[in-house]
């Protein structure tokens, strides 16, 4: 149980030495306070933590540093998620360098806030200002480490990142290609020295698939009989089936690697003896977009916005778009779905014509009724 001892110092001041003896494991917790009230409160908190089974987690926090926690997470937890291992490790190693020297018991919310603000003030490897969304990825990676420490390893009482406010993120891009822009872009891609650029861009426009999903496609995942594409490598980790349209089938059959006994990647790396998917075609795509008269800053991922928007303008429902794009949240689909000004004007035109027709019908009915009376 707890006890308090009053200690008289040489300068005449008084301090209070508090102790709590623990039977199992046999040890004593000690602390010194400037008032008896604070000492009593500390004893009550320790005894309450012991009764609730929380005290020994606090003891673990005094024995381990943040660096030790991150190292254990990287070696034991991250290998379960091979797809994200490299990226998450890079984010966590940044935190290790910033706050790794702190004992878990000494780490405060304020220390995480300092790291957050440093990230916001910094720049990326492309020398551009780091966005709020990128900083949130760093915070999410660190938060996962502390969540595991709390729930699985019981090294901590609570997650210090949970109360740190997150930077606001951009509302997302709304750029997508009109019908008049799609033709010149495809023609420009045909002229590109990159032999895969045209079929990859065409498939992206027709299906809304991400570049990584297209690049990692293998021929045994392209089923011409069932007319479907099976995506195993998706962003959220789920397997997704994309229906194959006539135009998509034509695009696949026109690929250089198409043959009756087709095997391996649909778009393999062009280096001899390398069994990997094609690397990024970013620069070839940027050049093709510029030659097609599309403004600077248009990205390959905007083709996904384009596909989603044109499907929506042709009557696809929210649920249908979620199924095609593989979104778990309707909010994500809303971010991808945009409407051209021409489409909106046509919708308004049709609506107003219907309204006026209904109004004329009512007016003619009233006129007829008044005449008959």
Q: 33 - beta bridge partners? A: 16
Q: Which of 208, 221, 206 has the alpha carbon at shortest distance from 322? A: 208
Catalytic pick from 116, 336, 337, 338?
336
Can 210 be counted among the known catalytic residues? yes
Neighbours of 104 (CB within 10 A): 22
Question: Is residue 304 among the annotated active site residues?
Answer: yes
**How many Å apart are CA 18 and CA 223, to the nearest integer?**
73
Q: How far apart are CA 341 and CA 147, in angstroms?
A: 46
Give me the catalytic one of 64, 210, 240, 310.
Answer: 210
The answer to whether the Cα torsion of 243, 248, 250, 256 is positive or negative is negative
Catalytic residue at 336? yes
Instruction: Extract the tokens encoding 206.
Output: 């027709």
The torsion defined by the Cα of 93, 95, 99 and 103, in degrees rounded to 10, comes to -70
Residue 15: CB atoms within 10 A of its CB come to: 15
Q: How far apart are CA 138 and CA 309, in angstroms?
A: 31
Backbone torsions φ then ψ of 336, nearest 5 degrees? -90, -20
> What whole-number distance in Å separates Cα of residue 305 and Cα of residue 309?
6
The single residue of 40, 54, 173, 301 carrying the catalytic annotation is 301
C-alpha–C-alpha distance, residues 95 and 63, integer Å: 19
Whether 16 sits among the annotated catalytic residues: the reply is no
Q: Which of 304, 310, 337, 338 is catalytic?
A: 304
**CA within 13 Å, CB half, 145:** 27
Contact 91, 137 (CB under 8 A): yes
Of the residues 240, 327, 337, 338, only one is catalytic, namely: 327
CB atoms within 10 A of CB 373: 5
- Is 327 annotated as catalytic? yes
What DSSP state is assigned to residue 104? G
- Please count the residues of the chain: 373
The answer to whether 105 and 49 have CB atoms below 8 angstroms apart is no
Residue 196 is a catalytic residue: no
* Active-site residue, from 21, 83, 101, 235: 235
The catalytic site residues sit at: 210, 235, 301, 304, 327, 336
């Amino acid at each position: 149980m707890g006890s308090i001892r009053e200690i008289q110092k040489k300068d005449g001041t008084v301090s209070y030495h508090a102790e709590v003896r623990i039977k199992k494991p046999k040890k004593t917790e000690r602390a010194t306070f400037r008032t008896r009230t604070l000492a009593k409160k500390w004893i009550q908190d320790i005894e309450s933590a012991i009764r609730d089974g929380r005290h020994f987690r606090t003891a673990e926090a005094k024995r381990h540093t943040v660096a030790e926690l991150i190292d254990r997470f990287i070696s034991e937890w991250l290998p379960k998620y091979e797809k994200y291992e490299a990226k998450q490790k890079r984010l966590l190693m940044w935190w290790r360098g910033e706050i790794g020297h702190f004992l878990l018991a000494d780490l405060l919310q304020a220390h995480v806030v300092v790291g957050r603000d440093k990230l916001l003030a910094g720049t990326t490897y492309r020398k551009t200002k780091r966005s709020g969304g990128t900083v949130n990825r760093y915070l999410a990676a660190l938060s996962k480490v502390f969540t595991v420490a709390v729930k699985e390893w019981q090294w901590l009482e609570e997650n210090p990142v949970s109360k740190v406010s997150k930077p606001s993120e951009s509302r997302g891009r709304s750029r997508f290609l009109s019908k008049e822009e799609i033709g010149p872009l495809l023609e420009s891609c045909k002229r590109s020295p990159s032999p895969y650029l045209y079929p990859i861009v065409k498939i992206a426009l027709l299906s809304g698939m991400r570049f990584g999903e297209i690049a990692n496609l293998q021929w045994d995942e392209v089923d011409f009989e069932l007319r479907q594409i099976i995506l195993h490598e998706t962003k959220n980790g789920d397997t997704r089936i994309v229906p194959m349209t006539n135009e998509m089938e034509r695009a696949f059959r026109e690929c250089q690697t198409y043959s009756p006994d087709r095997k391996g990647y649909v778009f393999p790396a062009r280096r001899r003896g390398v069994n990997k998917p094609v690397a990024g075609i970013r620069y070839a795509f940027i050049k093709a977009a510029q030659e097609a008269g599309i403004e600077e800053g248009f990205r390959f991922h905007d083709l996904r916005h384009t596909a989603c928007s044109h499907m929506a303008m042709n009557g696809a429902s929210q649920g249908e778009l979620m199924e095609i794009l593989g979104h778990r949240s309707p909010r994500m689909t809303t971010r991808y779905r945009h409407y051209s000004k021409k489409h909106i004007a046509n919708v308004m035109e049709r609506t107003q014509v219907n309204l006026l027709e209904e109004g004329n019908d009512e007016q003619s009915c009233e006129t007829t009724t008044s005449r008959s009376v």
